[in-house]
Amino acid sequence: MNTVQHVLDYIFPPQCAFCKCSGYVLCTSCLANIHPLTPPRCLHCYGQLITHGLCIACQRHPLQISGLRAVSTYDDPLRSCIHALKYNGHKRLAGPLGSLLAQAFYTYGMQADIILPVPLHSERQQQRGYNHASLLAQVCSAQLGIPLQEHILVRHRATPAQVGLGARERQQNVAGAFLCTATPTEQTLYRHKILIIDDVCTTGATLEACAAPLFAAGAAAVWGLVLARPA
């Protein structure tokens, strides 16, 4: 923590994003109430199951990514923390939340050569002032020691928010919205394992749309790691 931030925290102590207790960005009690997902879970999308194996959705129409893992369910206190980071400018939450992603990476035994955040369209990023997925990916990259490449994947087409859309509508909404700046001839991604970081995954449509150009550029595997999935 830099000196200026230390002084500001002394004068104006931070408040926990969920319980509002003083002195923490995310207090230890709320952090302890972000519970890891427990098996049985779908081996591919990590959705909840009664028995081990693949969920019905992945048996019929598996996600076009190598796999997906999540830290927890989209419930409080995690839900409020994600909202505060994403919409309320509470950027310091990227620290503890990014650490949760790094811990999950180790817990799940995941492997990656490169970390990418799900990109925002330039207009939306200009409006918001930052990309929350990028902030999370920066923390995750630093703690895992895996290179972060923020400009390999770009969102070249603005899309409406996914909230409120059905599964098929979500796929149509983001289809072709992402481009990979690395071409197959450059072999930047050739045989590399890619980890895409985001905050929430509902149907996997956005991660699929991100993965398509990465596979086309030669990636060997593309995994998604997010903070939350619906219960």
- DSSP E strand stretches across 45-111: 67-73
The span from the CA of 70 to the CA of 208, in Å, is: 15
Give the mean pLDDT of 87-103: 96
Q: Looking at residue 3, what is its pLDDT?
A: 62
Q: What is the mean pLDDT of residues 61-84?
A: 95
Distances (CA, A) of 79 to 100, 122, 159, 171, 209: 14, 25, 23, 23, 24
What number of H helices and E strands is found in the chain?
A: 9, 6
Query: What is the per-residue burial (b if ≥16 Cβ within 10 Å, else e) of 91-119?
Result: ebbbbbbbbbbbebbeebeeebbbbbbbb
Domain boundaries, the chain: 1-33, 40-229
Give the model's pLDDT for residue 166. 63
Band the pLDDT of 157: cuts 50, 70, 90: confident
**pLDDT of 231 over the 80 cut:** no
Q: Above 90 in pLDDT, residue 187?
A: no
At 5 the pLDDT is 57
Provide DSSP, 12-49: S--B-TTT--BT-SS-HHHHHTSPPP-SSBBTTT--B-
Phi, psi torsion values for 83, nearest 5 degrees: -65, -40
Percent of the chain topping pLDDT 90: 64
**How does residue 23 score in pLDDT terms, banded at 50, 70 and 90?**
confident
Model confidence at 163, pLDDT cuts 50, 70, 90, reads: low
Q: 196: pLDDT confidence band, cut at 50, 70 and 90?
A: very high
Tell me what pLDDT residue 9 has.
Answer: 57
Q: With a cut of 80, say whether residue 155 has pLDDT above it.
A: yes
Q: CA angle, 74 as apex, 194 and 215 as ends, to 5°?
A: 20
**CA–CA dist 72, 229 (Å, integer):** 7
Summarize pLDDT for 112-147 with one digit per residue, the tens.
999 999 999 888 888 899 999 999 999 999 999 999
CATH second-level architecture of 40-229? 3-Layer(aba) Sandwich (3.40)
